Amino acid sequence: IERYNELHSKHTVEARTKDNYWMVHKFYDMVTDFYEWGWGASFHFAPRARGEAFLASIARHEHLIALKLGLKAGMHCLDLGCGVGGPAREIARFSRAKITGCNINEYQLARLAEEAKRQNLDKLVDGVKADYHNLPFPDNYADAAYQIEAFCHATDLKKVYSEAFRVLKPGAVFAGFEWVVTHKFDDKNEIHLAVKKGIEEGNGLADMFRQDYVIE
């Protein structure tokens, strides 16, 4: 934890980017059990309707992804940056498509496999140790793909989206939700800077991408 703290307190964005693989891997080694205990198996936010339960909003968000991708039985979809597989299990249960999660963290992949088996979803949900900067799949491999607040850990966003495009079949759909710094961010505002730094340090990010850059 000392090295992680130093990367955020004493080092530059360039240094964190250089050590990004180590930083992200170790971050999730440290926080995964806490996340599951305090947040649930789906490590993401979701719009929440008035009176709606938290877990219901998470599930509805994941069902929306399945519907937008047109997932159904017989299709094969990639979850790029899958965590412990909460979204993959929910989407597979909802759509009956097969979901393969990609992750660099062995512990999270073990939790994915354990929970898929426990919930009798192991024929529909599996995991592969894979870096989404360099996916171990051939061209035109998957029927669909998605990422949920995962590409914020990327060091080369163009490479990551290029890889997603490469492994998708022609005409396949990709869905994603991302954290960004909006055009309202003022890099001379100390409060804005402190909030950005807190998000980065508290979530294993080297740097937050600008909204315009992500859209481009």
Q: How large is the C-alpha radius of gyration of the chain?
A: 17
| Cα–Cα distance list, 152 to 44, 80, 88, 179, 181 (Å) | 12, 12, 19, 6, 11
Cα 195 to chain centroid distance, Å, stands at: 21
Nearest to 130 by CA among 108, 162, 115: 108
**Catalytically annotated residues:** 149
Nearest to 85 by CA among 52, 135, 119: 119
Phi and psi, residue 48, nearest 5°:
-125, 125
